[in-house]
Amino acid sequence: MRIAFFDAKEYDKPAFLKYGEEKGLEFRFFETKLNPETAALAVGCEGVCVFVNDDVGKETLDKLYALGVRIVALRSAGYNNVDVKAAFGRIHVVRVPAYSPWAVAEHAAALLLTSVRRIHKAYNRVRDFNFSLNGLTGFDLHGKTVGVVGTGKIGRIFIDICRGFGMKVLAFDKFPAKDAGIDDVDLDTLFRSCDVISFHCPLTEETYHLINDESVKTLKKGVILVNTSRGALIDAEALVKGIKDRIVSAACLDVYEEESDVFFRDFSGHIVDDDTLARLISLPNVIIPSHQAFLTNEALDNIAQTTVENLDSFFKTGVPENELCYRCGRIEECKKERCGKCF
């Protein structure tokens, strides 16, 4: 079976080629992102494999369906870039619900430590043989309060890490984890009480711009924000204002709301048109990697293996593993409670 693989990077290929060969799948790798204009590249393919910044909206799905594509395989946990209603009845959508929650949680902790202890500044400074410690004073995480928004697998692992530092943990989740020993509070309490807030929730209509002009005003003065989930959880312009007003003391953003036109590409010899992103990068208390929280050898291998298994199960049995459920109205893994597949 032929699969059009969009937004392909060199680090994607080894594991996908290995597992694909085992299952008889032929991947056709394209560096370009999937969108209505590039959907034609999937001609002759039975499925497509996409990442977080590919456009899998209605127009794209219409074109894929007309080409004979019957499955979209997300190599990610998030799926906010997919119009699941437009896909229902025509194209099955599968995802990788968990590849390495440790990779993301550990990256969030690494960003937090880097910011708190000014490691990024020290690294750049000593490259100029400047060994002064002026301006590098940090603070202990021990005894501080961290707020965790989203207590799925990644959020709970991050909580364990923070507890290891001796931090007090408050958490908010619309569907709290049962018997997890987590102190659940409402979002307003979390915003007002926490020295550090880390986001580990999906992007939905309810979580869009959780940090905005109004909510910034409720944050505890001096808070550090960490986002390794989805960029649009934070209104970037509201964040800039919060930093200028000295409410937010630092931000660690592995993701960014308008990242699709910038992240995963080399703009070192060009001028980036996004003024908000340029402003954030210029701020000394903001750390912005390039959406790399998932990027470990273990995670890449798990992503490839699960994605290939999702595709293989569909082509061999017609019942795809890890299918998103649209029929019941809840966007979650289909439990196959009513029949073998969603449609």
Q: Which CATH architecture has domain 2-99+297-333?
A: 3-Layer(aba) Sandwich (3.40)
Q: How confident is the model at residue 5 (pLDDT cuts 50, 70, 90)?
A: very high
pLDDT at 331 over 90: no
Q: Which tokens go with 152?
A: 């799925």
Mean pLDDT of all residues belonging to the chain: 93
Write out the two tokens for 131. 């060994």
Q: For position 329, what pLDDT does the model report?
A: 46
CA-based nearest residue to 163, from 146, 138, 185: 146
Identical fold, 2-99+297-333 and 101-287: yes
The C-alpha atoms of residue 103 and residue 298 are separated, in whole angstroms, by: 8
DSSP assignment, residue 110?
Answer: H
Which residue, 17, 97, 92, 67, is CA-closest to 315? 92
The SS3 call for residue 143 is: coil
pLDDT above 80 for 160: yes
CB contact at 8 A, 29 and 13: yes
Name the strand (E) or helix (H) holding 94: strand 92-94
112 vs 187: CA distance, rounded Å = 21
Is pLDDT at 336 greater than 80 in this prediction? Answer: no
Sequence ranges of the domains in the chain: 2-99+297-333, 101-287
Distance CA 337, CA 89 (A): 18
46-97 pLDDT, tens per residue? 999 999 999 999 999 999 999 999 999 999 988 889 999 899 999 999 999 8
Mean pLDDT within 264-270: 87
101-287, superfamily in CATH? Answer: NAD(P)-binding Rossmann-like Domain (3.40.50.720)
**Residue 168, both tokens:** 């007090």
pTM: 0.87
Classified as helix, coil or strand, 212 is coil
DSSP state of 234: B
Residues 146-159 have pLDDT tens digits of 999 999 999 999 99
Q: Say whether pLDDT at 270 is over 90.
A: no
Q: Is the pLDDT of residue 334 over 60?
A: no
Question: What are the angstrom distances between the C-alpha of 116 and each of 86, 141, 278, 331?
Answer: 44, 8, 22, 37
**Rounded-to-integer distance, Cα 251 and Cα 84, Å:** 32
Which residues are the active-site residues? 230, 259, 291
Q: Environment class of residue 277 by beta-carbon count within 10 Å: exposed (0-12), middle (13-18) or buried (19+)?
A: buried
